[in-house]
Amino acid sequence: ARLIYTSSPSVVFDGRDQRGVDESTPYPRRWLCHYARSKALAEQAVLGSNGRSGLATCALRPHLIWGPGDRHLVPRLLARARAGRLRMIGSGRNLIDMVYIDNAAAAHLAAADRLLGSNAPAAPGGRAYFISQGEPAPCWPWINEILALVHLPPVRRRLPLAVAWALGALCETIYASLGLRREPPMTRFVAQQLGRSHYFDISAARRDL
């Protein structure tokens, strides 16, 4: 039997820039949000089950999936822009990885084929793989290109990363103290994701998958 867990690069994100890092990057000691922590716990459980009772497992870490049918990444950016709540965080020169939906799906199919004995150079069982286009893009010019396609103005207002981080911490504290269940307008995790570089070495996926 095969089990492929769709994880996320956020499982190794510790709030610092990640430039070309590979799968040897460890899990962080402290988590910025429960999303990343829960993903990491699930990934470890799946990878730890590889080889047990005839089970072959691996984890794929696609980053910022977008394309037809997207209900999360681009729609949320557009909603924030239309509400006047989108701000450039940090210098605006940070680079990010992303992956088109067809390529994310192809990676899952390739992993399924490789898990049960194929001619792959290395067996993917028990391993995690970063999945992206392999071409980091400047975050804010890319966002502004998306906005231009729907005739929205570019993001010009900017917040220093330290200010966005502090605002995120404040919002989290207020929402937690009031018992609010909806997502705060800013969090520490979102501030770091929008203001830091995060792109990955996908040579392992190219080799094995």
CB 58 within 8 A of CB 115: yes
Rounded to the nearest angstrom, the gap between the alpha carbon of residue 19 and the centroid of all alpha carbons in its chain is: 14
State the DSSP H helix or E strand holding residue 138, giving kind and residue range, or none if neither: strand 137-138
Active-site entry in 5, 27, 35, 129: 35
Question: Which candidate, 131, 182, 190, places its Cα nearest to that of 4?
Answer: 131
Residue 129 falls in the annotated catalytic set = no
C-alpha pair distances (Å), 177 with each of 84, 163, 170, 189: 26, 21, 11, 19
137-138 and 95-96 strand pairing: antiparallel
Q: Please give the torsion angle defined by the CA atoms of residues 160, 163, 168 and 173, in that order, rounded to the nearest 10 degrees.
A: 180
Within 10 A of 112 (CB to CB), how many other CB atoms are there? 16
What are the residues whose beta carbons fall under 8 Å from the beta carbon of 76, sequence distance 6 or more? none
Q: Which residues are catalytic?
A: 35
